[in-house]
Amino acid sequence: MNTGTWYAVSAYTLWGLLPVYWKWLQHVPALQLMSHRVVWSFVSLCTFLVITRRWSRFRAAIGDRRVLRTHLITAALIGVNWLTYVWAVNAGFIVETSLGYFINPLLSVALGVIFLRERLRPLQWTAVGIAAVGVFYLTFIYGAFPWIALTLALAFGFYGLVKKTAPLGSLYGLTTETGILLPLTLGYLVVCEVQGTGAFLHTNLLTDLLLVGAGPVTAVPLLMFATAAQRIPLSLVGILQYIAPTLQFLLGVLVYHEPFPPARFVGFSLVWVALAILALDAGLTRRARILGEPRRHRGHREPQN
């Protein structure tokens, strides 16, 4: 396994184990927890930019108003995603959050068709169709709309869609997004402090350290992922991304004993089958491309013989 693969596996493993971290902060209200995540992520990312001597380049990159307008949208989407995720984990819905991230790759494919006019291959259409059946089935057996899973999938799916055309990379982009959210979240934490409901510096030392640690916990996997994406094929990144929701699912069922009746297993199985078909299609397409390259090269040489 090369270095890039290790970075990717480490990033997705950390994201998959993240519910354990938020469970340690279950006594902190979700909005406060999300606000601390934004504040300390911004501090961590800025510190990294200064240490790596990229601060001046970052400031120059965000000088364009178009950059800020684009990342205003991505900031709102990542804020919704983070708040929903933190609340759901601490409210006992880890399994449903994992469903959201299982659905996300399939939703990204659908968004590509709708907004980017991408064409799907037959296996991709099959995967999207099976996943849709699975979501409708889960809605039926829940007796309620699986809003947590779909909110996470939609927020992160549209986040990825906008980021495809965003002018900044992952590091500068997340720094900008947390910077945009900073005034709102910092203002909210000040209000909590004034009202006497703030958790930071008013609970215990472990809570304070964990709240501050929410910044590195957010930034480190992102930096690992960014490094991995530069070193390994995107198709491999796509397959490895299922590590995170799989770990979340196992944590919810085996560690935190969330209910998972057989009827719900059927719906999840449909989504898993869809993902397997999507992965198969990606593998076959990549293999066909690799096998086709030598033929094209030989074709270019033949007229010269």
**Per-position pLDDT tens, the chain of length 305:** 578 788 888 988 999 999 999 999 999 999 999 999 999 999 999 999 999 999 999 999 888 888 888 899 999 999 999 999 999 999 999 999 998 888 887 787 788 888 878 787 888 888 888 888 888 887 777 667 789 999 999 998 898 888 877 888 888 989 999 999 999 999 999 999 999 999 999 999 999 999 999 999 988 988 888 777 667 765 566 667 788 888 999 999 999 999 888 888 888 898 889 888 877 887 787 778 778 765 444 444 443 33
Are the C-beta atoms of 92 and 258 separated by less than 8 Å? yes
Are the C-beta atoms of 181 and 82 separated by less than 8 Å? no
Geometric angle at alpha carbon 123, from 275 and 241, rounded to 5°: 25
**Nearest one of 132, 15, 16, 156 to 84, comparing CA atoms:** 156
